[in-house]
Amino acid sequence: MKKILSLFFLMAIVLPGWSQKVKWLDEMNLKLMSCGWSTPQVNKSVGGNPLKVNGATFNRGVGTHAVSTFLINLNKQATTFNTQVGVDDEATNNASIEFIVMADQKVLWRSGVMKKGEDPKTCQIPLNGKQKLGLVVLSGESNDNDHADWLNAKIVYSGATPIAIGNVISEKPYILTPASSPAPRINGAKVFGAHPGNPFLFKVPVTGVRPMTINASGLPDGLSIDSKTGIITGTTPAKGEYRIKITAQNKVGKATRTLKIVSGDLLALTPPLGWNSWNCWGLSVNQDRVKASADAMIQKGLIEHGWTYINIDDGWEAPSRTADSILLPNGKFPDMKALTTYIHSQGLKMGIYSSPGTRTCGGFLASYQNEVQDAKTWAELGIDYIKYDWCSYGWIAPNPNLEELQKPYIVMRKALDQCNRDIIFSLCQYGMGNVWEWGAKIGGNTWRTTGDIGDSWDSMSGIGFSQTQDPKCTGPGHWNDPDMLVVGKVGWGPSLHNTHLTPSEQYTHISMWSLLASPLLIGCDMSQLDAFTLNLLSNDEVLAINQDPLGVKASRVKKADGVEIWMRPLDDHSYAVGVFYNGKGSGDPTALFNWSNSKSTKTVKVSLSDLKLKGKYQVRDLWRQKDTGITNQSKTVEIPYHGVAFLKFTPVK
């Protein structure tokens, strides 16, 4: 026996290749690979086609989409990692990607930025003695359509098999938002814009036990309130500002607040709050699923925190237009009118989706050359929000200049202006041509600033912390949209999973989007809301930052030692401040991995000079809804890894 063992040992030393085995990337657990859009595919591109780079087809490999990360435990048993990499031919021409291979917190190889039409690059990296291998795909020049292929990717090893370990930090959900008081509290927007003469709908959101009476004094002629529900309806009065005193009373107490109704040219005086079907159901959206989320918004009380819009994304459209060019819903929406009527009866609002090309991103019929008809159809249906994508307009304008980028949105704007209905116009062209610099001018209420979000830290934090646009580009009526929320059960298709964001990362997500004055569109199936997610979405002090009437988006005031501080001024002369512990600064790709799964916290001293503030301030913890003391110097906070301290600094005498 001893002899056999020694022979084995000798062969392993003399003939290193003798005991070597191969683990292909496509054989590993790709559920643990993060992917910026859709899901990683075995031996196929991320779009489900054969792997093909610059005309050459490959039988083996993994198709993914930037930003993508994959962490593998090698157990010091691997000798090499071999792969070819490239942009898949199915990507559009503006795709640009960088592949990075790293091990044990060191970058070992970078492809450099690669574009569509380039030959694959080859990477052969020794891995002797390495514990963990990290594979990354980053977006190159823009983050659009980055379909990335790892081709013939394999790890050569001996001994224990390399195993995917994912890039997760284990963290138990922790609840921060205190329960709502039984006494009335009036929440939501303090200022609401509407066009004169159009149908008016605004529900005053109020938490507190029922029964409750909600009254409004000072309502202009043409508007009335249902005192049981707090829903104000009627016809928007003539141009002007109307200050309404809202009173809510139940057996425990009474609350009052002023609501300013501004009848004029602007809608969305605060960022829209609501739900959208895309991040959960993708193209498998249907009427029952939309209704279930609307019902949950009501039954779980989110409606009383100001959540309003129920937006149907792509996948509702019939396969062909009627003889008179009307685009009706497909069979998955047997009675869209009844759904809209129901939604309005609850004080909620309804949104829909289309594209300016001939097809939507999901391949459904879109609005090209039917804009006036489509806007009219939506207005008649009672639609309150239109998300207007870009997809397939690229066929009409393949290399668009600024004028061509703006054109389809100007056409739809004109069509919407012919309808006597308040419809929020949401541009979804991923930030092309710095849309934030001109989106307001061409009549957009919101505009996407980035490609699609995914439910990973890389994607969410990559988007959130890059929103450094000049705050002057946004404001009441006009908002940057860094895409929808990825909390709760998401999936972009019929099967859903819990978001891959940790609880701390989710607090970061909601805090950051509130600081940025972004639309907040919940992206999960609300009928499956768990206690943590519900609590996360029900914090009125956090939502009040998002809905602040001043409407100034936050700017980054400091970035050092893995910590970023973002800050925005508020209408009441206080400041909202987010102190985020991101780990290493962005720009260092090794920071994309949680190499040791050690979850640490960081103690950060936020000094008033960091915030360019002078004087004395009360500091309030917004998530815990607690004052934490007065200072004229600094505030020290303890922040979980990838988490946040979300603070409000209010001047005191």
My answer on whether omega of the bond before 182 falls inside 30° of 0, hence cis, is no
Note whether 642 and 502 are within 8 A (CB). Answer: yes
Secondary structure (3-state) at 283:
helix
Shortest distance in whole angstroms from residue 357 CB to ligand GLA: 12
Q: Given the complex with ligand GLA, which of 58 and 378 has the nearer CB atom?
A: 378
Instruction: Name which of 353 and 436 has its Cβ closer to ligand GLA.
Output: 353
Residues 6+ apart with CB under 8 A from 68: 33, 34, 35, 36, 40, 135, 136, 137, 148, 458
Cβ proximity to ligand GLA: between 314 and 525 the closer is: 314
Strand order in the sheet with 240-249: 191-194, 254-263, 240-249, 213-217
Between 287 and 539, whose beta carbon lies closer to ligand GLA?
287
CA 565 from chain centre, in angstroms, equals: 20
Of the pair 287, 360, the CB lying nearest ligand GLA is at: 360
Which residues lie closer than 8 Å to 615 by C-beta, 6 or more apart? 608, 632, 651
User: What is the distance between the alpha carbons of residues 544 and 520, in angstroms, rounded to a whole number?
Assistant: 12
Minimum CB separation of residue 518 from ligand GLA in Å reads: 14
Q: Are 566 and 555 in contact (CB under 8 A)?
A: yes
CB 538 within 8 A of CB 526: no
The residue (of 387 and 568) whose beta carbon lies closer to ligand GLA is 387
The binding site for ligand GLA (CB under 6 A) comprises 278, 313-314, 353, 360-362, 389, 428, 452
Q: CB 353 → ligand GLA: shortest distance, Å?
A: 6
**What residue has token string 């085995």?**
21
Sign of the alpha-carbon torsion through 628, 633, 637, 641: positive
Name the one residue in this structure whose structure tokens are 């994912």: 166
Catalytic residues: 389, 452
- Min separation Cβ 295 and ligand GLA, Å: 23
Residues 6+ apart with CB under 8 A from 337: 381, 382
CA-atom Rg of the chain in angstroms: 26
Output the CA–CA distances (angstroms, integers) from residue 568 to 256, 511, 552, in the order listed: 26, 12, 6
Contacts of 557 (CB under 8 A, 6+ apart): 565, 566, 567, 610, 611, 612
Which of 393, 457, 398 is CA-nearest to residue 428? Answer: 393
Q: How far is the CB of 362 from ligand GLA (least distance, A)?
A: 4
Contacts of 84 (CB under 8 A, 6+ apart): 53, 58, 120, 121, 122, 123, 151, 152, 153
Instruction: Tell the smallest beta-carbon distance from residue 447 to ligand GLA (Å).
Output: 12
Query: Least distance in Å: CB of 313 to ligand GLA?
Result: 5
C-alpha closest to that of 296 among 538, 532, 487, 529: 529
Handedness of CA 496, 502, 508, 510 (dihedral sign): positive
Nearest distance, CB of residue 391 and ligand GLA, angstroms:
6
Q: Which regions of 25-146 does DSSP assign to beta strands (E)?
A: 41-42, 51-53, 56-58, 61-65, 68-73, 78-87, 96-103, 106-110, 114-115, 121-126, 132-139
Please report where in the chains the tokens 């110097």 appear, as a residue.
633
Give least dist CB 46 to ligand GLA, A: 13
The distance of closest approach from Cβ of residue 350 to ligand GLA in the complex, given in angstroms and rounded to an integer, is 16
Nearer to ligand GLA, 64 or 177 (CB): 64
Which C-beta is closer to ligand GLA: that of 290 or that of 647? 290
For ligand GLA, the closer CB: 422 or 452: 452
Task: Please name which of 320, 315, 322 lies closest in space to residue 336, comparing C-alpha atoms.
Answer: 315
